[in-house]
Structure 1
Amino acid sequence: MTNELIKQVFDLIKLNNKLIAIESPLQERLSFLTNLACECLPLDVNCYLWTLEDDGLHQLVVNQETLALQTVEQYQAIAKNRREHYFEILRFWKTTDLQGILILEGIFPWLGESNTDPDFFLTSEWIKSALINLKLYNHSCNKTAILLGSNATVSSDIAPEVPTIVQQLPNIEEIKTHLLQVLSDYSQVEIHATASAGVGMYLADIDYGIRQAFADREITPDELVEKLSVYKIELLKRIYSIEFLQPPATAIGGLELMQEAFKTYKRLLTTLAKAYNLRLPKGILLIGPPGTGKSYSAKASSAQLGLPLIILEWGSFRSYGNLAEYKLKNLLALVDRINRIILYLDDFDKGFAGDDDLSKRLAGMLLTWMQERTSEVLIIASANNIQWLPPELTRSGRFDEIFKVDLPNYGERHEIFKIHLARFDARFHNGGDAYTEDEWKRLLKATQRCVGAEIGVIVERAAVSTFCRMFGDDVLPLEKLPPLLIQLSALLAARQSMNPLAIREADRVESMRNIAALQGQPSSSIDSSIYSLGNVDIFG
């Protein structure tokens, strides 16, 4: 992976580019510098590194693939006597008789778009001017300046003068090639399984995850795959503020039409579908009131398709400010590299509540990526207020499918209750039941306009109250514990202690439902269960 990056660097140098920007993550820095110095050695090209942190210039020296830094005294003497600011290196490199490649690390923050602070602005403009003059002054010299950093964002006024190379995440074949050296005693099958667990991480991260896994004892290849997967989930959460979930075993009550659509998407992932040029929809939008099961539906789709799920709170990007576009670019690159994954954008509408320039830029990036991507990624977004979304996001060809996720009907509430009751009451395991038809009708009538999330709370409150009635403060042996039997009365009492959102905020919820009905197709079929509204006396 890094060798491909080095090749791109020398291809630009051969085209006489004197100024090159490289975006490379910090954890890959040592590997990049070592590989660059190794490539320079047979070409008899000197390679130098300057860092903002100590304003020191060092020559990169490689001995048996081990990198060492040698201080360049010539710069140290000049900088000490004539230092007016931390960027004396730009004047030095323009006039020095040293030749080769100069790597400037830590300079990108001054190369972005304009800042309102006068001192920052003046320094930024001076650096940009100095870099352009450096390029012009050294046009006929064997000198190249490389700008190196983890975020190679440059302002539009100098972007045409600075070609940018981005170090991409390694693909599975590149990871397998690397692992053959690290895990030389592993079989091809074991290498492939380990590489699959490492997709989405840089090689340095994979190496660290492997060292961490072997820190305490020798482990089997299967254990390594499991530990590396856990490490990746933790790492992605820290870097991207996302949840990364393997396909869960998620049961879902109702929403039959949406679930049928998910089954269709699974068939579109087959090689047979590819032979007919069929593909996944570009995006799926779930709209409706809060708590109706939109997030749960995304998890259910992950279970049905057998694909991992990335959950991203879209509105959180606003908190990154000027780094928002950089964060989104990296996340979309991650999703592309992992491939065959579901990207779920939770509360998608909240990211556009401000209707500001940042929201529009992020929307533009997402739309461009959705239009141009070739990876097999299923995009699911949820929204409570579709009117907050820019019109260009909801037109045909962007989000191909829009589903209305409504308040659950009687039959769906019956299924949702049974799913939640099975968490606490063994009588409901494996589709079992403990209530009569009349008891169910009474409960379903009492929970009209309750959403799935509220039903979950009702069941949990009933379980807590049942537990508290069964036991005092005495601790009993676990093997002698009686079963927890949740009675209808406990559920009805829990319902009385709650004021559902659809009743408490009736006007807002009805507005959301009406707009969703106009924009989206139904996700549930007509209730044909024995508990349908026609079979329940709502006035009884």
Structure 2
Amino acid sequence: MPNGAETKLLLESYLLARIPFVSARTVERGRFLEILAEVADAKTFDIRVHTLSQGLRDLKTKQVISDDKSLLGALDMVGDLFQSRSNVTVVFTDVQHLGEDNEVSRRFADLAALAEEHGGCIVVISSDPVWKPLQRMGMSLALDLPDVDEMRAEIEGFLRQYSGAIPIEWGPQEFDQAASILAGITKIEALNILSTFVVKKSIVKDDLVALTRMKDSIFSELSGIERVVLNPADNKVGGLEGLRQWLDRKRSLLTMDLRDRGMRAPRGVLLIGVPGCGKSLSAKAIASDWQLPLYRLDMGAIFGAYVGQSENRLREALATADSVSPCVLWIDEIEKGLAGAGTESTGVTTRLVGQFLYWLQESRGRVFVVATANDVRALPQELLRTGRFDDMFFLDLPEPDERREIIEIYLRKYLRVQVPAELVSELVELSEGFAGSDLNAAVTEIGYEAIRVGDDNVPFDFYLKAFNNIIPLLRSAPERVEEIRQLRDRAIPASGRARTPEKIGGSRRVVLG
């Protein structure tokens, strides 16, 4: 049942039962008052509303009952009102510090006792907790942000009033996607975004991409995660054909409504492999290709000096990611934050692992996680269990055809001349054992020389020299590369190339596509 409808039923039952004190937890005061007005119309309740800007007024007629805008003055007046009339409901919308034992919370407790004697009811709208002795005098309810169904109804209702006045290309599928994108923000925020499309005199299918960007702009200061600015030209990935095909199959599922099948949106991938082979670049490329905002969670920065601080930081960061979804959440070198769980000195790490796994398993936010790790053996085994991430991919040193593709990407990016195919082939041969980052470094050096002397004046010998000067990890630390390659059979090859089956420490991963 949508939260708005559930809240309406609960509120109606509390008012009919004349519960003396009702606390409503929500950040959408206006939306709650709309629900309250619907209840009042249906059941003819006598409801007064107090705000610090307008004082006390009648909910239905909007007539001002008292222009005393102070909270304490309103409490005195409501006390007199309860003694002179029965079955009156008063709603307070601007109450601060009601979670503490102070004069205001005690005044509300006295007023709640008076309301109980005279069949009155007090409703307090707040996003903060309520002082326990006061809360025990009544009941509580929560109005969450609109879910997908409620958001779709709001979108359709808003755009319906412009039907015929402006062209609207959206059909059922576009309304579903728009609702999925805008879920997680308030009703007024969603309608403000839609208003910007209305003023341009048309609603087209391409506006769905802009919806994500505009939703992202609402969260200017994010807690716990860092917004990564994307430049599509900087996020081209060469090779990794298997990973790219897998992502293409998952792309549209992130914003589809899969509830009728009892399924959730794709959760993400864990990328492991040789350093410099494109794990971090893949996270940027996914967000760029999918036209979604990218956020980075630094697990190393999560740890705090005080008890509970690390857990609170992680909880806040993951909640923020859910709020800004649909998005891509990049967790670079995840082993730095979650390695060592279960040892005697890492109680905090163990709790962080449990908290992260619970979110990964249970959260229904449309957050696609791209986690990278250089040493998967340092990660807790619970993280690698099927059902956490959708799949795990191994990124190895690129093969010749992959190196060619990567080299050509960087040559087009850094140079303004066409490089002969014969020279590219020679560079491919020279770069045996290079990682993607090594190829980037070599072509970058050529680019610097092109800027210095002009693109047409860089001799071919300089191209070869730039590549010969690179010492790849395979030459500087071959034992390290071989150690990492021992993990290949635990994951799907990102290249898409099938390998000769070798059973090493567990079940085989099957190459898809």
Question: TM-score band (shorter)?
Answer: 0.5 to 0.7
Structure 1 residues 184 and 363: alpha-carbon distance in aligned structure 2, compared to 1, 3 A threshold: farther
Following superposition, the deviation at residue 417 of structure 1 comes to 1.2
Residue in 1 aligned with 2:385? 395
Q: Are 2:429 and 1:441 aligned?
A: yes
Q: CA–CA distance in 2 between the matches of 1:298 and 1:180?
A: 38
Residue in 2 aligned with 1:36? 36
Q: CA–CA distance in 2 between the matches of 1:423 and 1:328?
A: 36
Q: Are 2:466 and 1:464 aligned?
A: no
Structure 1 residues 131 and 286: alpha-carbon distance in aligned structure 2, compared to 1, 3 A threshold: farther
Q: Are 2:115 and 1:144 aligned?
A: no
Q: Choose which of 100, 103, 124 in structure 1 pairs with 2:89.
A: 100
Gaps (5+ residues) in structure 2?
A: 500-513
How many residues of Structure 1 are paired with residues of Structure 2 in the alignment? 470
Q: CA–CA distance in 2 between the matches of 1:286 and 1:389?
A: 13
Residue in 1 aligned with 2:144? 166
Residue in 1 aligned with 2:26? 24
5 Å-filtered alignment, 1:314-333, equals 314-315=298-299, 322=312, 324-332=314-322
Following superposition, the deviation at residue 416 of structure 1 comes to 1.3
Q: Choose which of 436, 439, 449 in structure 2 pairs with 1:452.
A: 436
1:421 corresponds to which letter in structure 2? L
Residue in 1 aligned with 2:495? 524
1:460-490 CA distances to partner (integer Å, 9 max, x unpaired)? 33212212212xxxxxxxxxxxx66865544
5 Å-filtered alignment, 1:38-117, equals 39-40=39-40, 43-49=44-50, 58-61=55-58, 70-72=66-68, 76-77=72-73, 97=83, 99-103=88-92, 105=94, 107=96, 111=99
2:442 corresponds to which letter in structure 1? I
1:208 corresponds to which letter in structure 2? N
Q: CA–CA distance in 1 between the matches of 2:347 and 2:57?
A: 43
Residue in 2 aligned with 1:288? 273
Q: CA–CA distance in 2 between the matches of 1:328 and 1:426?
A: 43
Residue in 2 aligned with 1:418? 408
Instruction: Determine if contact 2:446/2:463 at 8 Å carries over to the other structure.
Output: yes
1:429-480 CA distances to partner (integer Å, 9 max, x unpaired)? 9xx83515344322x14xx3x432343343233212212212xxxxxxxxxx
2:297 corresponds to which letter in structure 1? E
Q: CA–CA distance in 2 between the matches of 1:265 and 1:5?
A: 33
Gaps (5+ residues) in structure 1?
A: 79-88, 112-122, 471-482, 529-540
Residue in 2 aligned with 1:537? none
Q: CA–CA distance in 2 between the matches of 1:287 and 1:388?
A: 12
Residue in 2 aligned with 1:202? 186
Residue in 1 aligned with 2:511? none
Q: Are 2:157 and 1:177 aligned?
A: yes
Instruction: Determine if contact 1:349/1:385 at 8 Å carries over to the other structure.
Output: yes
Give the share of equivalent positions with the same residue, in percent: 19
5 Å-filtered alignment, 1:209-224, equals 209=193, 218=200, 220-222=202-204
1:100 corresponds to which letter in structure 2? T
Following superposition, the deviation at residue 58 of structure 1 comes to 3.4
Structure 1 residues 405 and 463: alpha-carbon distance in aligned structure 2, compared to 1, 3 A threshold: same
2:124 corresponds to which letter in structure 1? I
Q: CA–CA distance in 2 between the matches of 1:68 and 1:493?
A: 84
Instruction: Determine if contact 2:90/2:123 at 8 Å carries over to the other structure.
Output: yes
- RMSD of aligned alpha carbons: 5.5
Residue in 1 aligned with 2:358? 368
Instruction: Determine if contact 1:347/1:384 at 8 Å carries over to the other structure.
Output: yes
Structure 1 residues 245 and 464: alpha-carbon distance in aligned structure 2, compared to 1, 3 A threshold: closer
Following superposition, the deviation at residue 138 of structure 1 comes to 5.4
Structure 1 residues 503 and 173: alpha-carbon distance in aligned structure 2, compared to 1, 3 A threshold: farther
Q: CA–CA distance in 2 between the matches of 1:393 and 1:276?
A: 25
